[in-house]
Every structure is written in structure tokens, then in C-alpha cells.
Amino acid sequence: MKRRILAILTVIGILGISNTYAADKWLSIRSKNFILVGNASESAIRRVGRTLEEFKAGYGILFPSAAQQLSPPITVVVFKDDASFRPYKPVYQGKPANVAGFFQAGEDANFIALTADTETPRVIYHEFIHAMTKDTGTPLPAWASEGLAELYSTFEIESNGKEMLVGKAIADHLQTLHQSFLSVNTLFAVNHASPFYNEGTKQGIFYAESWAVMHYLMLSNNRQRQPQLVKFLSLVATGKDIDDSFTEAFQEDSTRFEKDVQEYIGRFAFPAVLFKLQSKIDFDKEMQASPLTEAQSLYYIGDLLSHMGRHDAAEAQFQKAISVDANFGPTYASFGLMRVREGKRDEALQLLTKAVQADSNNYMAHYYYAFMLQADADISDKSRFLTMRDHLKKTIALAPAYAPAYDMLGYVSLVSAEELPQTEEILKKALNAAPGKRELRLRLAEVMIANNEPIAARVIIAPLKNVTDDDAVQRRAESIADAIQRRLDNEQAVRDYNDRQRIAAEARTKEEAESAAALRNAKRDETSDEPPRIRRNETTTPADDSSTVETATIKLKRPAGREIDGALISIDCSKGMTLRVRVGNGNVELHADDPSKIEFISYTKGVSDFVSCGQLKTALPVTIIYRAGSDPRFLGQPLRVEFTDKK
Ligand SMILES: [Zn+2]
């Protein structure tokens, strides 16, 4: 029964929405950083676009690193009034929430939705600041991130766009601060897991005090403390202890600092600061307006609803959009992407295939098409990786600032072992443009390792050494650091091996020269009765290809010893056992007098049961654990040979 009622309501909802469309003219206005769409008047949409561009430019004055173009652009939906906005508001306790606007962040897209006839709500500026700061070089600690977002949330443009006002006091925060106060040390230690942190409500002492401290550091005494703040944040970002960074940056202890902040709060007169906007940018001129088709406006609303997690409502919009215009690609892209998030992979792939066929200029469609192909890609299916690579390159050509495409391109290159040097160059450029993208940094380091540049890779991941707010990034950075260390150990082992061989060869040459000289002397002096010199026979019996390697009983625990990664080229079984392994650009040999002491273990489907003595048809990736020996001809004595999937 309940379900039927819901179904009827949904139908009514759809009808209601479509009636709205029939009556409304929807417009699209493209500004530098925003795609504004809506049923509000052109002048109202332009005004919203101008305000948001001014806000972004104003923020860029104090933080020039934020001046780069936003990626992806933010989609702003401007409703003409509250009645047309209501069906798309976030639902709170079963009803549309009482908000004048909201910011919907997403992995691939950010949205702002608001009515044209109200002031931009604080929450939009707050979340907008987050969207701008998350891509900058050094991630901010929680208090600084929230403090900045709150500080800018009261942003106002004055004097007809010539000045901006930053730092208007927030009454709720002041009230909270008069009731309680956290020690500065506690405040600075708050992270996203902390009970003080509640992004949902943005209330409580953490938000209030983060705001106050940021206000104090940014705006007090003619902004004299601002350089100290910048210094403090960069010290903390490099992993320096909070206490030490504090003393070094602020030149005083935290007790003194706390007193200053409390005094500042107690004054009740938070200075709001007017900044002159150097040159009034004529955002209006940059904005291009065009009417939206019905399918386009349905698509934009569907995309917004889908990112809000309102999948049923979104689907209704998408279906309608397709029925109105079956050739509009973005609908398939966004609909398909929603299916990706729902885990409906077959449907997702179908929709995304249509998306790339219908509209080759939609970067999202190409990206998510590749994304879906990745989901069940078989490592051995080269053609699939080539298709993925094509679509990722198209994505990058269409949207050079869209980082996930670079990340996946790196992945494809690593898995298929194709175009690795070219991919490294592409990733380097992308990271240069957005040094705060940690995934990109990690991926570039992986590609560099594959390209045999462990030292450079180490430099690249160095800034991630002290990441504490993201476990996944931290773990991946550690495992990359391990891989780098193994590479370097390998290289060192090969260098040592080559040195020993060179020294041994020099010794042999010297010995031979001496014995030749002795022979000449002997010929001259036929009376010598020195015994004939015995030459060691160094020719080996040819390897028998049919003989197989018997392996020692496998012990689960790895034996203690050094490790080296490489590709096994041959197994010489003539005198004990000699393994020839390609490591980097050179070869090394390992030898055991008693082959039964060597364990052979396979971690890959490619090697099972046995391997033959002799030259291998194809070199096999191995990790060899060995004990260093004194024989200069060999790297050491192999204890265990592990066959792996590594390249
Ligand atoms: Zn926040």
C-alpha cells in the first residue's frame, strides 16, 4: 500500500515538474568558471554569475594560488523563486529543507543551487572555499580549512564591485566563544575524525574558534600576522611538529597566543576589512547567454538530483530528457554515471556507449566510458586497454584540467606496459598545474618507477610522507616508497656485482699475463722442470632442456636474506645450479652448489609445476632471496625464487 502511494506521488511530481518546464524559459550562461542555468531572468542569472566570479577573484587576491580556473567548472542552477526551487531542495526529515541555496559537492562535478531573489547564503561561500582549496599544493589542517571557509562566508561586494568586504562578524560564533574556549593546541589537533568536527551543521566551538583564530591571523592589526600564518601552515604541511612549527612561525608560545586571541574575541569589534579590487573585471562581457532546449534543462536538473543521491527523481528527468531528444549525449553520460554509482554496470556501459557515440565533445562521457571498461577488464585483453587509452586521451584533450583522466591514463599505461615514457610526461604536466592532487602524485611516482627512475620518484612522493588525514593515500605512499627502496637496493646489488666481476677479471688478466711471461721465460730456459700449468676447464656441458628443476620443500616463511627483483633468463643445471637474471639493463648470476636447497615458489598463473633447465623461452619476472657469498662471479647464493606477475 505504502509503495503505491509513493508511486502516485512520484507521478504527480513528474507532472508538476514538466508543467513548470512548459511554462518556463530556461537559459544557460557560461562565465569563466561557471555554467549557470535556470528559469530565472537573464539579468538575474547574470547577477548570480557576476557575484560568484567576484567572490572567486576576491579570494584570489589574498590567495593567488587559487586564481587558477576551476576544474571541473561549477554548475549553478538559478531558480526564479522558492516555489520552483522547492522540488529540488535537499530533503530533511521528509520535507524540503528550509534553505535559500546549497552547495552540492561531487567527485566529478560541483553544483550550486539557489534562488535568484535572495542573498547568496553563507553556506555556498563556505563550501565554495573548500572546493577551491582542496586542489592547492599543500592540504590545510582542519581548523585552517574551516576557519578560512567561515571567514569568507560573510563575503560582500561593495561600491558597485570596486571593493570587497571580508570578515564581517558572525553573531552565532561570537556567542559560542563567550561560552567556551578550546586550548589552541586542542584546536590545531582536530581532524576529520574528531568529535568536534561536524561539517553537517558547521556549529559548535570548533567552527567558531577556527573562524576566530583565522580572523585574528588574517585581519588583525593591518594583517601583520598573515605572513606568520602562511609560514605556520607551510611548516605543518611539511610534517613538522605542531608545537615546533608554532614557536618558529609565531615567535611566541601558545599560552601567550591564546591570550591574544581571547582578548581579540573579547573586544566585540571584529574588524571587517575592505579590499580594493584592483581592476574591476567586466564579468558581464565574458558571459555568453543562450537558450536551453527542454532536453538540456531536464538533463541539468537530473544531473543535480543524481549528485544529491535522489536517484529515482533523477531517473525520471533523464528518461524524459531522452524521450524529448534521444540524441543529446550529456543525458546518457550523466544517466550512465548514476548507474555506475548504483553498481548497475551493464546498464551503465550501455548508456555510456551511447554517450560517446552521440556526443564526442563530452569529456565526462569519454572518461566514464573508459571507467566502465576498466571495471571488468582482463589484464590480457590489450585491445580494451587501447580503447580506454583513446577515450582518456580524448577526455584530456577536451578537459585538460580534469585530473581523474590523467590518473586512469597512468593506470592503463602501467597495466598494459605501453607508452610509459610519454605517459610520464603527460602526468608531470598535469601535476605541475595541480600540485595538490595526491592521486596524480602517487600515479606519477608509480610510472616513474616503471620507467626506472626510482630517485626521481622518491622526490615526487616526498610531500606525501607526512600525510595524516587520509589513510588510503598514506598506505599507497608507503608502498611506493618501499618499491623505490627495492629498486635502489637492486641497483646497488647489481653495481656491487659488476664491481666484483671487474676486479676478478682484472686479477685474471694480471695472472694470465704473469703466466704468459713465465711461459716465455721457461721457453728461453729449457732446463726448467716446473710442472705444466693446469688450466681450469671453464667450458660447461650444454644444458639439458628436458631436465626439470626439483625444488626444495616450500616453507611458508621467507628465508632471511637480501632480495632482488628481475627477470629470470636461464637456469644452468650443469654444475650445481646457476640462475641468470636480468636486472635493470644488466645481468647478474646467482649460484648454488646444491640445487635442492633452492625453493621455487610461483605467485603467478604463468608459471606452474616446473621450469626447465636451460635458456628460458621468455624471461620470467622473479624476486630472488639470496645470501651474499664470497665468490666474485656470483651475486650470491639463491635461497628462494618467487615467480611473480611483476613487470
Ligand atoms: Zn566546512
With a cut of 50, say whether residue 1 has pLDDT above it: no
Residue 83 falls inside a structural domain: no
541 CB-contact burial (10 Å; exposed 0-12 / middle 13-18 / buried 19+): exposed
- Report the CATH number at residue 383: 1.25.40.10
Nearest to 75 by CA among 120, 117, 113: 113
Q: What distance in angstroms lies between residue 145's CA and the mean position of ligand 1's atoms?
A: 7
Cα angle, residue 574 at apex, residues 569 and 578 outer, rounded to 5°: 40
With a cut of 50, say whether residue 108 has pLDDT above it: yes
Q: What distance in angstroms lies between residue 134's CA and the mean position of ligand 1's atoms?
A: 11
Confidence of residue 69 (pLDDT cuts 50, 70, 90): low
277 CB-contact burial (10 Å; exposed 0-12 / middle 13-18 / buried 19+): middle
- Report the CATH number at residue 593: 2.40.50
What is the per-residue pLDDT for 405? 94
Residue 223 falls inside a structural domain: yes
Q: What distance in angstroms lies between residue 417's CA and the mean position of ligand 1's atoms?
A: 41
C-alpha cell at 194: 574528531
Q: What distance in angstroms lies between residue 132's CA and the mean position of ligand 1's atoms?
A: 12
- Per-residue burial over 154-165, b if 16 or more Cβ lie within 10 Å, else e, is bbbbeeebebbb
Domain limit, last residue, from 271, 301, 323: 271
Please report, in angstroms and rounded to a whole number, the separation of the first and last CA atoms in the chain: 59
Q: Strand 614-627's sheet: what is its strand order?
A: 586-592, 577-583, 562-572, 614-627, 637-643, 599-602
Distance CA 43, CA 116 (A): 10
With a cut of 60, say whether residue 6 has pLDDT above it: no
The 10s digit of each residue's pLDDT in 560-613 is 788 888 888 888 888 888 999 988 778 889 998 888 888 888 777 667 666 678
Domain limit, last residue, from 451, 481, 511: 481
On whether the CB atoms of residues 266 and 253 are closer than 8 A, the answer is no
With a cut of 60, say whether residue 144 has pLDDT above it: yes
Q: What distance in angstroms lies between residue 199's CA and the mean position of ligand 1's atoms?
A: 5
The label of the residue with cell 588510503 reads 472
With a cut of 70, say whether residue 92 has pLDDT above it: yes
The label of the residue with cell 567572490 reads 55
239 CB-contact burial (10 Å; exposed 0-12 / middle 13-18 / buried 19+): middle
Average pLDDT rounded to a whole number, residues 208-223? 89
Q: What distance in angstroms lies between residue 285's CA and the mean position of ligand 1's atoms?
A: 32
Q: What distance in angstroms lies between residue 411's CA and the mean position of ligand 1's atoms?
A: 32
Does 566 lie in the same domain as 477? no
Q: What distance in angstroms lies between residue 127's CA and the mean position of ligand 1's atoms?
A: 6
Residue 443 falls inside a structural domain: yes
Residues spanned by the domain of 474: 379-481
Which residue type does 46 have? R
| pLDDT above 90 as % of the chain | 27
Q: What distance in angstroms lies between residue 213's CA and the mean position of ligand 1's atoms?
A: 15
240 or 244: which leads in pLDDT: 244
With a cut of 70, say whether residue 441 has pLDDT above it: yes
Range list of H helices, 115-199: 122-133, 142-152, 171-179, 184-189
> How long is the chain?
647
The 10s digit of each residue's pLDDT in 218-239 is 888 878 888 898 888 878 777 6
Q: What distance in angstroms lies between residue 194's CA and the mean position of ligand 1's atoms?
A: 14
Q: What distance in angstroms lies between residue 502's CA and the mean position of ligand 1's atoms?
A: 63
Domain limit, last residue, from 426, 447, 481: 481
Distance CA 377, CA 110 (A): 29
CA torsion angle for 157, 159, 162, 165 (degrees, to 10)? -40
Residue 637 falls inside a structural domain: yes
Residue 374 falls inside a structural domain: no
- State the Rg of the chain over Cα: 33
On whether the CB atoms of residues 280 and 269 are closer than 8 A, the answer is no
Q: What distance in angstroms lies between residue 501's CA and the mean position of ligand 1's atoms?
A: 62
Residue 407 falls inside a structural domain: yes
Q: What distance in angstroms lies between residue 338's CA and the mean position of ligand 1's atoms?
A: 26
Residue 386 falls inside a structural domain: yes
Residue 474 falls inside a structural domain: yes
The 10s digit of each residue's pLDDT in 498-557 is 888 888 888 888 888 888 888 887 766 554 444 444 444 344 444 444 455 544 555 567
Q: What distance in angstroms lies between residue 266's CA and the mean position of ligand 1's atoms?
A: 25
307 or 140: which leads in pLDDT: 307
Q: Domain total for the chain?
A: 3
